[in-house]
Amino acid sequence: MSSARYRLDDLVIDLERQRVERDGALLNVAGLSFQLLRHLVEQDDRVVGFDELIQRVWAPAVVSEETVTQRVKLLRQALGDDGRSPRYLRSVRGQGYQLCLRPQPLPATEPATSPAPRPHRSRVMTVVMAGIVVLAAGTGLWAWKQHANRMDIPVAAPTSEPPSLLQRAAYYAGIGQRDDNERAIELFGQALEEKPGNVDALVGLSRAYSARVCLFNFPPEWAARAQTLAEQAIRAQPGRVTAHAALGYSHDCRGRIDDALAGYERALALDPAADSSRASAAYLYDRKGLLAQALLANTSLRGDPARVRYLQVQIAGILDLLGYPQAAEARYRQSFALYPDNVFSNIAWPRFLFRHGRTTEAQAALDQAMQRGTDHVDLFLLAAELAQLRGDPAVALAAYRQAEALRPQASLPATLAQLQAGPVDPAWAHARADRITRDLEGGAGYPADWLEVAVLREAAGDRAAALASLQRAVDAGYSDTAYLRVSPLFRTMAAEPGFARSVDALNRRVALEHGKVPGALLERLTASP
């Protein structure tokens, strides 16, 4: 097939421009999803096997059939296709995949529009895709730092040369799934065995160890090992940008914000075009309450913004804190719809709904996220708070216990599970609060961690100390008024004048941050689709 443009049912596929349209509306089909679609179109309507797809779409990376299957799911999601009743792409059991009908070449002079839709066909995904703004340039807990990973791995041309250990390791590390990260660790380790001191392998293994902690619930000592590897790489090559970024990431995964920022900012000083470090720093500016600085960093990337993972979710979170929930909602909703295998999109959307008091919608979104197989501590914590709001203490306790089991080394799930189980020993609550306070004062932790201290002081019966801890969170940069107002964890102290003073101080600081953002930038980011 030699044409550059094809019609597939009501789709127009432009291979040269890498665009897919329906009724003139551009669909979000890019990266590996588009390369997969391209190869299927070029094969007309024959059945294409897994081995061929792996060789022509993923090479030189070595991937499994499961990777292909997951990418097909993402492609169907982007097209609005249903695997149970497919319109565009069907699976052929035991063989591979096949287009449902033969793609028709379009002449160069024909307008790139699709025929009128047939009345009986679903238009749900068309409405979703056309009704949401797609920007070039989040709320959540500390694991959001994975925003710096790539949305897709670059597609290399087929080659007869076998991929190197480092190529394969880097590929698996970039996928963002636990099993693939473990494969990457094994391969980076093999590369170091073959060549001890290999800086590429040191940096890659450092990042993969940190990802164990940030993404996959491993204990924090893996981030300490990551720090050691990154420091070894820096000693070997002091000007290595990725080594400084990896060092920042290792601190980031243990909540050492200032040390993490030092690593990211050093990487930026060495290479101002290091977009992943800029985005990582932006996340930490956000956590410290430097919302204007975070937004400017997120919208000042030097390269293609689509190459920075979770950027849309990060911008959505800042816009929401600055008082633009509608603009934030559009981005959260879109990310949730487009990336069903993205753990952070699955967390961000139900949390947004919860924070804005839309608890029924939040529960429905949470259920959907869990049905997708997302297994993250934040989802269970949210499930527990929703259960508390509807007066179901048994379900709340079960959810807190699940969160605790999932991340046993984390403090917050264990604290909330114990408080929910009750009765609370005041001595235990004070001792635990004292320990967290020492860690925070020693430079480990995020401003939000002061909220755990506040909840513990309240449970111990010391409301004055609880309100003082809340104020320390605000002083440190905590910026989420909406959560404080809706969470059941703060209901007993919400009527206190001290609580109102802290919220007022928070709102004043956010207003100051709002004033630091250029009006033209806010207008662009909040414009209606």
**Is the pLDDT reported for residue 406 higher than 50?**
yes
More confidently predicted of 181 and 124? 181
Average pLDDT in the 188-211 region?
94
Cα–Cα distances in angstroms (integers) from residue 368 to residues 107, 213, 319, 337, 371, in the given order: 43, 25, 25, 11, 5
The Cβ of residue 430 has, within 10 Å, a number of other Cβ atoms equal to 17
What token pair was written down for 421? 């189980």
* pLDDT tens-digit readout, 479-521: 999 999 999 999 999 999 999 999 999 999 999 999 999 999 9
For residue 163, the model assigns a pLDDT of 66
For residue 140, the model assigns a pLDDT of 34
What are the residue ranges of CATH 1.25.40.10 in the chain?
142-331, 335-516
Band (222; pLDDT cuts 50, 70, 90): very high
Give every CB contact of residue 211 below 8 A, 6+ residues apart in sequence: 146, 173, 181
**Is the pLDDT reported for residue 29 higher than 90?**
no
What token pair was written down for 487? 């969470």
Instruction: Give the closest residue to 40 by CA, choosing from 105, 92, 98.
Output: 98
* pLDDT tens-digit readout, 415-445: 999 999 989 999 999 999 999 999 999 888 8
CATH of region 5-130, choose from 1.10.10.10, 3.40.50.720, 3.40.50.300, 1.10.240.10: 1.10.10.10
**Is the pLDDT reported for residue 152 higher than 70?**
no
What token pair was written down for 522? 């806010």
For residue 276, the model assigns a pLDDT of 87
Please answer whether residues 526 and 327 qualify as being in contact, where contact means their C-beta atoms are separated by less than 8 angstroms: yes
In this predicted structure, which of 20-29, 161-170, 194-203, 231-240 has the lowest mean pLDDT?
161-170
For residue 56, the model assigns a pLDDT of 84
For residue 93, the model assigns a pLDDT of 79
* pLDDT tens-digit readout, 324-372: 999 999 999 988 888 777 778 899 999 999 999 999 999 999 999 988 8
The Cβ of residue 375 has, within 10 Å, a number of other Cβ atoms equal to 14
In this predicted structure, which of 75-84, 110-119, 298-307, 348-357 has the lowest mean pLDDT?
110-119
Average pLDDT, the chain: 85
Query: SS3 for 386-453, per residue?
Result: HHHHCCCHHHHHHHHHHHHHHCCCCHHHHHHHHHHHCCCCHHHHHHHHHHHHHHHHCCCECCCHHHHH
**Is the pLDDT reported for residue 153 higher than 70?**
no
Please answer whether residues 86 and 100 qualify as being in contact, where contact means their C-beta atoms are separated by less than 8 angstroms: yes
For residue 307, the model assigns a pLDDT of 66
For residue 92, the model assigns a pLDDT of 86
Instruction: Give the closest residue to 36 by CA, choosing from 84, 79, 85.
Output: 79
For residue 226, the model assigns a pLDDT of 97
Q: How many angstroms separate the CA atoms of 194 and 192, rounded?
A: 5
What are the residue ranges of CATH 1.10.10.10 in the chain?
5-130
CA atoms lying within 13 Å on the CB side of residue 515: 6
Question: What is the topology classification, in CATH, of domain 142-331?
Answer: 1.25.40
Band (28; pLDDT cuts 50, 70, 90): confident
Q: How many angstroms separate the CA atoms of 223 and 474, rounded?
A: 28
Average pLDDT in the 229-234 region?
97
**DSSP labels, 28-50:** ---HHHHHHHHHHHHTTTS-EEH
Q: How many angstroms separate the CA atoms of 309 and 246, rounded?
A: 16
**Is the pLDDT reported for residue 145 higher than 50?**
no
Q: What are residue 23's phi and psi, to 5 degrees?
A: 55, 35
**Is the pLDDT reported for residue 3 higher than 80?**
no
Average pLDDT in the 303-320 region?
83
CATH code given to domain 335-516: 1.25.40.10
What token pair was written down for 280? 């990582």
pLDDT over 70, % of the chain = 86
For residue 285, the model assigns a pLDDT of 95
Instruction: Give the closest residue to 522 by CA, choosing from 363, 360, 323.
Output: 323
Instruction: Give the closest residue to 173 by CA, choosing from 194, 198, 148, 192.
Output: 148
In this predicted structure, which of 152-156, 412-416, 501-505 has the lowest mean pLDDT?
152-156
Average pLDDT in the 45-56 region?
86
